[in-house]
Amino acid sequence: MTSTTTYPSAGQLNPTPRLLLGPGPSDLHPRVIAAMTTPVLGHLDPQFLLLMSETQEMLRSVFKTRNELTLPISATGSGGMETCLVNLVEPGDRVLICIAGYFGERMAEIAHRCGAEVHVEQESWGRTFSLDRLRDALRRVRPKVLGIVNAETSTGAWQDLSSLGALCREFDALLLVDCVTSLGCTPVEIDAWQIDAAFSCSQKGLSCPPGLAPLTLGPRAVEAIRRRKSPVRSWYFDLTALQSYWGTERVYHHTAPITMIYALREGLRLVLEEGLEARYERHQRHARALQAGLQALGLRTLTEGHCQLPQLHAVLLPDGVNDVQGRKRLLEEFGIEVGGGLGQYKGRVWRIGLMGYNSRANCVFQILAALEKVLADCGVRCHRGSGVAAAEAVYANSPS
């Protein structure tokens, strides 16, 4: 029954390299690339089990938590979002989702698919939620889970969370936080901020390839899972089963993505070698330089100043600049990728990321120089070299 047709294979893998200054993936740190060439181990090899434990311990340090249930899900960041929701929510549970961008919307959509009764609190894209407003919403909805985004990848807005955990406890709600774009770039304090569940990704602040979703759940979230009346609807994302593999029992669940775990482990080592505070300060410093450069070029960002993330800047496109053509030029002429806008900002912003390994002066200079050229050719008036010069001035005044 086997036919004998032959099939052509594709040519050698040989893409033109890019500098990834969009919303992620970001460029891999060279040491992460090297780690991925390490010979593969079996998923139950004692050597690999040790690497798993080390990865979890470093994840706890980066999340600033002592949560036992801290592990990377074998899926991308959105898979981490689904894992948290499908485990915490049972059909009919009330969930309150705060939406001020694309990824808040995604959280509401996934909660809906989990069978939740979804209530949403809407804010204009690029803005954030005040504690008073969230208190009113909690009082009105009385949700089992409040879901919110710490760093909104679609707008570049930073949501303060430092007192939200305490507020959620007043209302006996679990606090679920999307840290996809914050982890490794801006402070994430799971225990100090009393966050019950959080998820992130590998390809932004951690400078690894996309493919893993680190997450952490605290005691209240674990207890909520233990008290479920119905089985978790997903087998693949069932945290109780996953914990049996990642915990001390070491019961086989699915074959862990070994090479990706190698990458994550190396990415976490780099974060801890640098030190969390030094890393956050580095992101702030290069963001100041970028913002000074953007301002000198006459560009503004979507967010208001106080909530601008250092790792992601949604730049409003000036009149006369064509989104698709402009990004195509950046990509093909300068080898730089920036992100287009999402949702209502499609065609209206470019999202510039300075994340993890790519939060460095070379990246700031390259994107400012390229932007100036592309904008000038579209008729946008800017002084030659003004963007780079403004960034240089920032660096001169704040040496590393």
Task: Kindly identify the residues of this chain, within the stretch 95-154, that bind a second copy according to CB under 8 A.
Answer: 106, 109-110, 113-115
Pick from 136, 170, 223, 273: which binds a second copy (CB under 8 A)? 273
Task: Kindly identify the residues of this chain, within the stretch 342-361, that bind a second copy according to CB under 8 A.
Answer: 342
Nearer to a second copy, 250 or 383 (CB): 250
Nearer to a second copy, 324 or 396 (CB): 324
Of 27-35, 144-152, 307-315, 358-366, which part binds a second copy (CB under 8 A)? 27-35
Burial class of residue 244, CB neighbours in 10 A (0-12, 13-18, 19+): middle
Question: Minimal distance in Å, beta carbon 18 to a second copy?
Answer: 6
Residues 134 and 77: beta-carbon distance below 8 Å: no
Nearer to a second copy, 255 or 322 (CB): 255
The single-letter code of the amino acid at 337 is E
Q: How far is CA 152 from CA 263, 286, 289, in A?
A: 25, 19, 21
Residue 223 touching a second copy (CB under 8 A): no
| Residue 308 CB partners (closer than 8 Å, separation 6+) | 156, 157, 158, 287, 291, 301
Nearer to a second copy, 94 or 269 (CB): 269
Residue 209 touching a second copy (CB under 8 A): yes
Distance CA 243, CA 253 (A): 9
Tokens of 380: 């946008």
346, β-bridge pairs: none
| Residue 80 CB partners (closer than 8 Å, separation 6+) | 73, 180, 199, 200, 201, 213, 214, 215
CA 342 from chain centre, in angstroms, equals 15
Residue 248 touching a second copy (CB under 8 A): no
Residue 8 touching a second copy (CB under 8 A): yes
Residue 243 touching a second copy (CB under 8 A): no
Question: Minimal distance in Å, beta carbon 145 to a second copy?
Answer: 16
Q: How far is CA 188 from CA 198, 266, 380, in A?
A: 10, 20, 39
Nearer to a second copy, 71 or 380 (CB): 71
Q: DSSP letters along 106-120, please?
A: HHHHHHHHTT-EEEE
Distance CA 285, CA 362 (A): 13
Write the binding mask 66 to 95 for a second copy: x where contact by CB under 8 A, - elsewhere: --------xxxxxx--x---x---------
Q: Judged by CB under 8 A, how many residues of this single chain contact a second copy?
A: 98
Residue 64 touching a second copy (CB under 8 A): yes
Nearer to a second copy, 106 or 285 (CB): 106
Of 116-124, 186-194, 356-364, 388-396, which part binds a second copy (CB under 8 A)? 186-194
Nearer to a second copy, 86 or 174 (CB): 86
Question: Minimal distance in Å, beta carbon 381 to a second copy?
Answer: 30
Pick from 105, 266, 372, 392: which binds a second copy (CB under 8 A)? 266
Distance CA 355, CA 333 (A): 22
Residue 57 touching a second copy (CB under 8 A): yes
| The pairing of beta strand 213-217 with beta strand 69-73 | antiparallel
| Residue 355 CB partners (closer than 8 Å, separation 6+) | 24, 26, 181, 184, 185, 204, 205, 207, 283, 311, 312
Task: Kindly identify the residues of this chain, within the stretch 290-319, that bind a second copy according to CB under 8 A.
Answer: none
Of 294-302, 314-322, 335-343, 372-380, which part binds a second copy (CB under 8 A)? 335-343
